[in-house]
Chains A and B, each alone.
Chain A
Amino acid sequence: MVGVVPRRIFGSLKSARFPGGAVYRILTKETLATDIVRFWIDAPHIARKRKPGQFVIVRLNETGERIPLTIADADLRCGAIALVVQGVGKTTRTLNALAAGDSILDVVGPLGRPTRIEPGVRVCCIGGGIGAAVAYPIAAGVKAKGGRVSAVLGARTKALVILEPEIKAVADRYIVTTDDGSYGMHGLVTQGLQQFLAEGVEFDEVIAIGPLPMMRAVCELTRPIGLPTTVSLNPIMVDGTGMCGGCRVTVGGESKFVCVDGPEFDGHLVDFSELAARLTAYREQEAEASAQCRSLSAAPIGG
Chain B
Amino acid sequence: MAKKIGQKTKTPMPCLEAAERRRMFSEVATGYTEDDAVREADRCIECKNRPCIAGCPVEIDIPTFITQIARRDFEGAFHTLFDKNVLPAICGRVCPQEDQCERKCTLGVKFDPVAIGRLERFIADYAAARNWKVETPAPAPTGHKVAVVGSGPAGLTVAADLARLGHDVTIFEALHKPGGVLMYGIPEFRLPKSIVEREIAALQNLGVEIRPNHVIGRTFTIDELFSELGFEAVFVGTGAGLPYFPDIPGVNLIGVYSANEYLTRSNLMKAYKFPETDTPIVRGRRVAVIGGGNTAMDSVRTALRLGAEHAYLVYRRSRNEMPARAEEIEHAEEEGIEIELLAAPVAILGDDRKRVRAMRCIRMALGEPDASGRRRPVEIPGSEFEREVDLVVFAVGQGANPLIRQTTPDLKMNKRGYIDADEGTGATYKHGVFAGGDIVTGGATVISAMGAGRRAARAIDAFLQNPLPDGM
Contacts and interface: CB of A to CB of B under 8 A. Distances in A.
Interface of A: 2, 5-6, 9-10, 13, 18-22, 45-46, 49, 59, 63-66, 90-91, 105-111, 238-246, 248-250, 255, 260, 274, 277-278, 280-282, 285-286, 288-289, 292
A69 B353 CA distance: 27
Contact of B175 (A20, A239, A285): A239
Contacts of B218: 49, 109-111
Contacts of B170: 20
B264 A239 contact: yes
B280 A286 contact: yes
A55 to B, nearest CB: 11
Interface centre among B270, B279, B401 (most CB of A within 10 A): B279
Nearest to A261: B402
A63 B213 contact: no
Interface string B187-208: 0000000000000000010000
Contact of B260 (A110, A244, A281, A282): A244
A13 B209 CA distance: 12
Given A46-B219, A255-B245, A63 B276 contact: yes
A45 B219 contact: yes
Given A18-B212, A243-B242, A65 B219 contact: no
A244 B243 CA distance: 6
B228 A2 contact: yes
B383 interface: no
> Chain A interface secondary structure, helix, strand, loop or mixed?
mixed
Interface stretch (B13-21, B35-43, B250-258, B417-425): B250-258
A46 B211 CA distance: 14
B228 A244 contact: no
B176 A106 contact: yes
B307 to A, nearest CB: 14
B365 interface: no
A243 B220 CA distance: 18
Contacts of A107: 213
> Chain B interface secondary structure, helix, strand, loop or mixed?
loop
Interface of B: 170, 174-176, 204, 209-215, 218-220, 227-230, 241-243, 245, 251-252, 254-255, 257-258, 260-261, 264-265, 269-270, 273-280, 282, 353-354, 401-403
The 7 closest A-B pairs by CB, nearest first: A285-B280, A244-B261, A277-B354, A65-B278, A108-B213, A243-B241, A282-B280
Given A49-B219, A65-B269, A242-B403, 15 more contacts: A20-B211, A21-B210, A46-B219, A49-B220, A66-B279, A90-B278, A109-B215, A109-B218, A110-B219, A239-B175, A242-B401, A282-B282, A286-B280, A289-B275, A289-B280
A18 B210 contact: yes
Interface centre among B176, B219, B220, B254 (most CB of A within 10 A): B176
Contacts of B219: 45-46, 49, 108-110
A64 B219 CA distance: 22
Given A238-B269, A278-B254, A280-B353, A2 B227 contact: yes
17 contacts: A5-B228, A6-B229, A10-B229, A20-B170, A45-B214, A45-B220, A64-B278, A65-B278, A65-B279, A66-B269, A109-B215, A245-B258, A246-B257, A249-B252, A278-B254, A280-B353, A285-B280
A91 B278 contact: yes
Contacts of B354: 274, 277-278
Given A45-B219, A66-B269, A245 B260 contact: yes
B2 to A, nearest CB: 46
A277 B242 contact: no
A18 B265 CA distance: 22
A63 B254 CA distance: 24
Interface centre among A13, A59, A106, A238 (most CB of B within 10 A): A238
Contact of A250 (B175, B212, B252): B252
Contacts of B257: 245-246
Nearest to B406: A260
Given A19-B204, A245-B245, A285 B211 contact: no
Contact of A238 (B215, B245, B265, B276): B265
Contacts of A110: 218-219
A292 B276 CA distance: 10
Given A19-B204, A238-B269, A245 B279 contact: no
A281 B174 contact: no
Contacts of B212: 18, 21, 106, 108
A200 to B, nearest CB: 40
Contact of B211 (A21, A248, A260): A21
Contacts of A18: 210, 212
A240 B210 CA distance: 20
Contacts of A91: 278
Contacts of A66: 176, 269, 279
A243 B275 contact: no
Given A66-B269, A106-B176, A285-B274, A243 B401 contact: yes
Given A108-B174, A248-B252, A274-B354, A63 B228 contact: no
Given A13-B211, A106-B176, A289-B278, A245 B264 contact: no
Contact of A59 (B176, B252, B274): B176
A108 B215 contact: yes
Contacts of B251: 255
Contacts of A248: 245, 252
A21 B228 CA distance: 19
A280 B253 CA distance: 11
B252 A274 contact: yes
Contacts of A109: 215, 218-219
A46 B213 CA distance: 11
Nearest to B273: A63
A256 B271 CA distance: 25
Interface centre among B218, B241, B254, B353 (most CB of A within 10 A): B218
Contact of B252 (A63, A111, A241, A255): A255
Nearest to B254: A281
A63 B278 contact: yes
Nearest to B212: A21
Contacts of A19: 204, 209-210
Contacts of B215: 108-109, 111, 240-241
B280 A278 contact: no
B264 A238 contact: yes
A277 B353 CA distance: 7
A282 B353 CA distance: 12
Contact of B261 (A106, A245, A274): A245
B355 to A, nearest CB: 8
A243 B243 contact: yes
Nearest to A59: B176
Contacts of A106: 176, 212-213
